[in-house]
Amino acid sequence: MSKALIIDIKDEKDYENRVLNSKDPVVVSFDTPWCESCNILNLKIKEVVGKYKGKVVMAKVNTNDLPNLVPHNSDTVILPIVAIAKDGKIQSHIEGVQGTDDIKKFVDENVKKNIKRMCICKLKIKFSLNI
Which residues are part of the catalytic machinery? 35, 38
Q: Which amino acid is at 79?
A: L
Question: Which residues lie across from 58 on neighbouring strands?
Answer: 6, 27
Cβ neighbours of 85 (radius 10 Å)? 25
Distance separating alpha carbons of residues 105 and 58, to the nearest angstrom = 16
Nearby residues of 103 by Cβ (< 8 Å), 6 or more positions away: 41, 44, 45, 48, 82
